């Protein structure tokens, strides 16, 4: 397992982290992801720590807080050996103060997460979405107070656009507050939008990417194929509409390339698909999940080896799509490209 600093901060994490969205299993949506209880979670955490994983990620919205509760119990006795990341901003109730990133919401969210995680501090606290209703000065100042109090140590964001992240960073600079060091983003071989604007911004501003759903919402496990029925156990049956969209033919083209590389390397399709983003610019950690030990062991097999330049070229070619405006001129036209070469 390799270890990397998150952006230009002093926070160090494993190249693969563990996402605890399968812990708890409360509600129809997260119940479809998994329903791992404390005993099973402790075993998964054991396997992760034995493999060198240090980053464990969750959120208050995962199973209505049950994910944090189960993760906290599973980490009991080894809290100081790991990096715990959690998130808040998405709605956790029907009240007007049950969503967003206002001062009152953030303070209550952090205190509640500390109780559920059974810990005195959160290593990385991330804003789970951009809240346009709350002034950035208020958000930044509140996070500053929480850092100074010792309740959180680093801050980050998740699912921000480029202008939202840049505005947040500029506001922190203007007010002398801690900058966000991490951006939790969707990035996979069937979802490379991160590269257009967010990756160059991360490189310029020193923000590390923590990648969620690197298997494309479960589509790059090797079980989803052309002219083959979706497995009955796939969570795609109930959650596909909520996940990142992908054209079926594009998906199958990428899976064909993954099959080729898997045969060449003796690895599984999922391991190849996970290894690819782990080596991309600005990526600090790729967050993997698992319902059971077998799935976790397979995913952890993405660590400790590298794709060859030719294998990367094949995967890049299969997964490449046309850039949206205003980015396509910088790829198509020489004059534009000379002014601003691509980040990857």
Query: Which are the catalytic amino acids?
Result: 62
Cα–Cα distance for residue pair 288/204, rounded to 1 Å: 26
* Residue tagged 């953030």 (tokens): 106
Euclidean distance between CA atoms 106 and 88, whole angstroms:
7
Give the span between the Cα atoms of 29 and 62, in whole angstroms.
Answer: 9
Whether the Cβ atoms of residue 298 and residue 268 lie closer than 8 Å to each other: yes
Identify each DSSP E strand in 150-232 by its residue range.
Answer: 152-158, 182-186, 208-212
Based on its alpha-carbon atoms, the radius of gyration of the chain, rounded to whole angstroms, reads 20
Distance of alpha carbon 171 from alpha carbon 176, whole angstroms? 8
Q: Is 284 helix (H, G, I), strand (E, B) or coil?
A: strand
Contacts of 308 (CB under 8 A, 6+ apart): none
Token pair 């964001």 is at which residue? Answer: 157
* Helix/strand/coil for 21: coil
Distance CA 203, CA 188 (A): 18
- Which residue do the tokens 């507050």 mark? 177
């Amino acid at each position: 397992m390799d270890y990397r600093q998150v952006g230009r901060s002093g926070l160090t994490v494993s190249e693969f982290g563990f996402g605890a969205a399968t812990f708890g299993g409360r509600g129809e949506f997260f119940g479809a992801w998994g329903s791992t209880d404390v005993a099973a979670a402790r075993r998964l955490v054991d396997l992760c720590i034995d493999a060198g994983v240090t980053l464990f990620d969750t959120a208050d919205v995962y199973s209505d807080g049950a994910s944090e509760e189960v993760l906290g119990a599973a980490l009991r006795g080894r809290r100081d050996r790991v990096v715990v990341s959690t998130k808040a901003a998405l709605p956790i109730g029907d009240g007007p103060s049950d969503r967003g990133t206002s001062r009152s919401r953030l303070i209550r969210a952090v205190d509640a997460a500390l109780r559920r995680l059974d810990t005195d501090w959160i290593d990385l606290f991330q804003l789970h979405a951009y809240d346009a209703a709350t002034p950035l000065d208020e958000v930044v100042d509140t996070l500053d107070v929480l850092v100074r109090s010792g309740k959180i140590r680093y801050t980050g964001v998740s699912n921000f656009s480029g202008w939202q992240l840049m505005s947040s960073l500029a506001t922190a600079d203007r007010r002398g507050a801690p900058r966000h060091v991490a951006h939790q983003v969707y990035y996979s071989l069937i979802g490379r939008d991160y590269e257009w604007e967010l990756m160059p911004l991360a490189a310029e501003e020193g923000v590390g990417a923590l990648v969620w759903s690197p298997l494309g919402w479960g589509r790059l496990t090797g079980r989803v194929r052309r002219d083959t029925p979706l497995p009955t156990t796939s969570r795609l049956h109930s959650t596909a509409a909520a996940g990142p969209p992908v054209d079926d033919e594009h998906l199958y083209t990428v899976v064909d390339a993954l099959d080729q590389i898997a045969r060449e390397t003796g690895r599984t399709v999922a391991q190849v698909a996970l290894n690819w983003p782990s080596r991309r610019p600005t990526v600090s950690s790729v967050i993997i999940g698992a319902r059971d030990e077998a799935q976790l062991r397979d995913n952890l097999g993405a660590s400790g080896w590298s794709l060859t330049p030719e294998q990367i070229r094949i995967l890049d070619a299969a997964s490449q799509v046309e850039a949206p405006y205003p980015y396509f001129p910088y790829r198509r036209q020489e004059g534009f490209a000379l002014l601003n070469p691509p980040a990857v």
